């Protein structure tokens, strides 16, 4: 494949996605064959655009919080002060990843009630793990020579962290964020089973009324968002890696 | 000798203090769905039991606070966890008014915080012990036997979650069977198809990117949507293919759930097979060729054993993921523990949610421990061979 083909396909996907969100009605003939004659082919219990934005907002808030906490924790356990926690935090990450998202979501409901909050908690907890794991890997595998040079040039530990360790780790941290976002985008749809406003509403409405067109449009919007965000963050990652010379 | 403190011990002590002193231990509800009245630890238990539990927790916290042998810490953690689990069952019998069959007692936040604090202590002790894989599995078996004994002894029977269970014991085991069948069956199918596909992708390079990209795209579709999307094609197959309906293929139910889990499982299996085979050192392959091994012999005697740890890692990922995702199958009538989770959410009966969620988490956790042990046992030999 030529180099520009994937970029073109992504551009096309973005255009189609935006067109569908801004004017879902014009796609009706395409989806019509999927439904019974009298059933609506386009989701009619709310605006797809606003659900998409709410979906993205939920994922964004959860991922932002997860990134901040995960990076801070990873920094803490890689300092001499927190070294005691390093091994434990590794096993906790391993254990944490075995918790199914649905279970986390369901268990959060008794604590905080229905709506957006349990979804945010589940996405936050589930998003923490890949970011923490990647940050930890990056911070513990920095080239020894670079670290020694930084120490030798008289940098304080804090300067080393901000000017050497974090910039060098950034591409791997971004890769963790990318993984986390893709998982969260899909997991957020399950949030609608506990009454969160996400694109899951469209899918669940489709499942309940046996409307395949609803399921398809909900699923495809989330899938398209995931592909675009994944590729976007991959590009960011590559850019940072080029700039810091770690590529 | 100087007394030395353990930093994690402070975290555990703070958590335990918060859980024991400032949160409630158990909740008494007049019936299964209304808000209940929370009771503190010493109010939830008879005087002697409350104070013994408190004393034991203080002793275990002390073991956490000071730097001692991990074995002592593990022992303290296990003692505290056992006491907590016994106490919550006892609290249920103690708090329930005599003869009242509607009243429900559930663990409250303090119980969960205490459980988390001492589970943390146990996890830390086990991490420091660095047990060999066999011993980790042994720990798991001991824990399972302990929980099993508690369940059989009936000391939890007063708890709300067990009352939810006793009302639907038959259904519970049917759904448990379906859950395991879904998770394991789709894993088995994915390995059966994914391994040859991975080997093919490894051999035929032009195929690799196409296959992996397609499987990657499948992963981006949210699970509930994929479950839903498969309803239509499978319904069509059931209606138009003779014999399909007879072997259980239907639009809703187990079939679409099975196919969806299978599709999600393919990517890790295929990708890791490719990575594992690509990681086989060229020298090993050359040596095998040199001693006159055929292509097939090389695959089964050299490449495959060397790639096994990476492939097993994929199986671990897939199994844990499938156990979690199988809960969603309940939304399309596929059964599994998700039935209780979603019923519970629908009825706002949180103990019913727990009845579905707790076994799922336990199952996922246990399979992760077992497969991690398997991976470690299998990676010893190849690593030794690689360094030679």
Give the number of other Cβ atoms within 10 Å of residue B89's Cβ. 21
**Same-domain status, B196 and B67:** no
CB contact under 8 A, A227 and B225: no
Instruction: Output the pTM of the full model.
Output: 0.85
**Would you state the pLDDT for residue B197?**
93
pLDDT in tens, B227-262: 877 877 777 777 777 666 666 666 667 888 898 899
User: A100 and B361: CB-CB below 8 Å?
Assistant: yes
Domain extent at residue B316:
169-387
| Inter-chain CB proximity B324 and A99 less than 8 Å | yes
Q: Is B176 on the interface with A (CB under 8 A)?
A: no
Q: How many residues does chain A have?
A: 247
Q: With contacts defined as CB-CB under 8 Å, which chain A residues touch B231?
A: 212, 215
Long-range CB contacts for residues B22-25, cutoff 8 Å, separation at least 24: B22/B110, B23/B108, B23/B109, B23/B110, B23/B113, B24/B108, B24/B109, B24/B110, B25/B88, B25/B91, B25/B107, B25/B108, B25/B110, B25/B111
* Residue B80, pLDDT score: 93
The whole-number pLDDT of residue B384 equals 42
Give residues with Cβ within 8 angstroms of B360, minimum separation 6. Answer: A100, A102, A103, B179, B323, B324, B326, B327, B337, B341
pLDDT at A246 (0 to 100): 57
Q: How confident is the model at residue B386 (pLDDT cuts 50, 70, 90)?
A: very low
In a domain, B25, yes or no: yes
Residues of chain B numbered 116-135 and touching chain A (CB < 8 Å) = 120, 123-124, 126-128
More confident residue, A24 or B56: B56
Report CB contact under 8 Å: A106, B228.
Answer: no
Let me know whether B300 and B257 are in one domain: yes
Query: Same structural domain for residues B137 and B229?
Result: no
**Residue B335 in domain:** yes
| Last residue within a domain, chosen from B107, B126, B160 | B160
CATH code assigned at B284: 1.10.3720.10
Give the residue from chain A lying closest to B331, CA to CA. Answer: A207
The answer to whether residues B122 and B194 belong to one domain is: no
- Determine, for residues A207 and B331 on separate chains, whether the beta-carbon distance falls below 8 Å: yes
Q: Tell me what the pLDDT averaged over chain B comes to.
A: 86
Give every CB contact of residue B289 below 8 A, 6+ residues apart in sequence. Answer: B298
Give the model confidence (pLDDT) of A26-47 as tens digits: 888 888 777 777 778 888 888 8
Of B178-192, B196-210, B233-247, minimum mean pLDDT range: B233-247
**B1 lies in some domain:** no
Interface probe, candidates B222, B268, B320, chain A, greatest A C-beta count within 10 A: B222
Mark yes or no for CB contact B228/A206 under 8 Å: yes
With pLDDT > 70 as the criterion, what percentage of chain B qualifies? 94
- Chain B interface test: which of A59, A86, A110 (most B C-beta within 10 Å): A110
Look at chain B and report how many structural domains it folds into.
Answer: 2
* Alpha-carbon span A42 to A25, nearest angstrom: 7
For residues B84 and B203, membership in a common domain is answered with no
Chain B 321-350, residues with CB within 8 Å of chain A CB atoms:
323-325, 327-328, 331-332, 338, 341-342, 344-345, 350
């Amino acid at each position: 494949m030529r180099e520009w083909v994937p970029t073109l396909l992504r551009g096309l996907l973005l255009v189609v996605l935006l067109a569908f969100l801004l004017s879902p009605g014009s796609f009706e003939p395409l989806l019509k064959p999927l439904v019974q004659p009298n059933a609506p082919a386009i989701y009619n219990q709310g605006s797809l655009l606003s659900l998409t934005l709410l979906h993205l907002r939920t994922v964004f808030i959860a991922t932002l919080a997860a990134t901040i906490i995960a990076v801070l924790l990873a920094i803490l356990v890689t300092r001499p002060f927190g070294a005691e926690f390093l091994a434990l935090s590794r096993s906790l990450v391993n254990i944490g990843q075995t918790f199914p998202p649905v279970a986390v979501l369901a268990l959060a409901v008794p604590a905080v009630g229905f709506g957006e909050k349990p979804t945010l908690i589940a996405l936050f907890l589930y998003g923490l793990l890949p970011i923490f794991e990647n940050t930890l890997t990056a911070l513990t595998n920095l080239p020894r020579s670079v670290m020694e040079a930084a120490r030798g040039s008289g940098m304080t530990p804090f300067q080393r962290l901000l000017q050497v360790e974090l910039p060098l780790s950034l591409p791997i941290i971004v890769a963790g964020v990318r993984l986390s976002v893709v998982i969260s985008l899909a997991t957020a749809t399950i949030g609608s089973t506990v009454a969160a406003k996400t694109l899951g509403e469209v899918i669940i409405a489709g499942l309940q009324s046996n409307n395949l067109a609803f399921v398809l449009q909900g699923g495809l919007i989330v899938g398209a968002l995931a592909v675009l965000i994944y590729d976007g963050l991959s590009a960011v990652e590559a850019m940072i890696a080029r700039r810091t010379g770690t590529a | 000798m100087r007394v030395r403190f353990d930093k994690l011990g402070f975290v555990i002590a703070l958590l335990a203090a918060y859980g024991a002193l400032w949160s409630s231990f158990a909740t008494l509800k007049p019936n299964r769905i209304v808000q209940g009245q929370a009771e503190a630890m010493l109010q939830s238990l008879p005087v002697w039991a409350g104070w013994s539990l408190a004393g034991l927790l203080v002793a275990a916290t002390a073991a956490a606070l000071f730097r001692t042998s991990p074995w002592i810490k593990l022992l303290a953690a296990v003692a505290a966890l056992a006491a907590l689990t016994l106490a919550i069952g006892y609290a249920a019998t103690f708090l329930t008014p005599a003869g009242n069959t509607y009243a429900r007692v559930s663990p409250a936040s303090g119980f969960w915080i205490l459980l988390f604090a001492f589970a943390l202590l146990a996890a830390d002790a086990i991490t420091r012990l660095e047990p060999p894989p066999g011993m980790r599995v042994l720990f798991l078996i001991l824990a399972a036997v302990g929980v099993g004994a508690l369940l059989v002894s009936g000391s939890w029977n007063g708890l709300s979650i067990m009352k939810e269970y006793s009302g639907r014991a038959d259904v519970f085991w049917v759904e448990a069977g379906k859950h395991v069948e879904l998770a394991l069956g789709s894993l088995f199918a994915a390995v059966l198809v994914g391994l040859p596909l991975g080997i093919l992708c490894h051999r035929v390079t032009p195929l690799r990117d196409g296959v992996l990209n397609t499987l990657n795209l499948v992963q981006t579709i949210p699970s509930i949507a994929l479950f839903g999307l498969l309803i239509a094609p499978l319904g069509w197959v059931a209606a138009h293919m003779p014999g399909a309906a007879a072997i259980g293929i239907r639009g809703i139910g187990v079939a679409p759930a099975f196919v969806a889990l299978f599709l999600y499982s393919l990517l890790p299996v295929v990708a890791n097979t490719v990575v594992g085979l690509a990681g086989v050192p060229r020298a090993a392959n050359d040596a095998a060729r040199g001693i006159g091994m055929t292509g097939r012999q090389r695959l089964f005697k050299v490449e495959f054993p060397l790639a096994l740890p990476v492939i097993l890692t994929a199986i671990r990922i897939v199994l844990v993921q499938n156990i979690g995702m199988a809960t969603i199958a309940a939304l399309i009538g596929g059964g599994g523990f998700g039935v209780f989770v979603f019923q519970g959410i629908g009825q706002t009966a949180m103990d019913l949610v727990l009845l579905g969620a707790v076994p799922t988490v336990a199952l996922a956790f246990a399979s992760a421990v077992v497969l991690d042990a398997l991976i470690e046992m299998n990676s010893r030999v190849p690593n030794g061979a690689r360094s030679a």
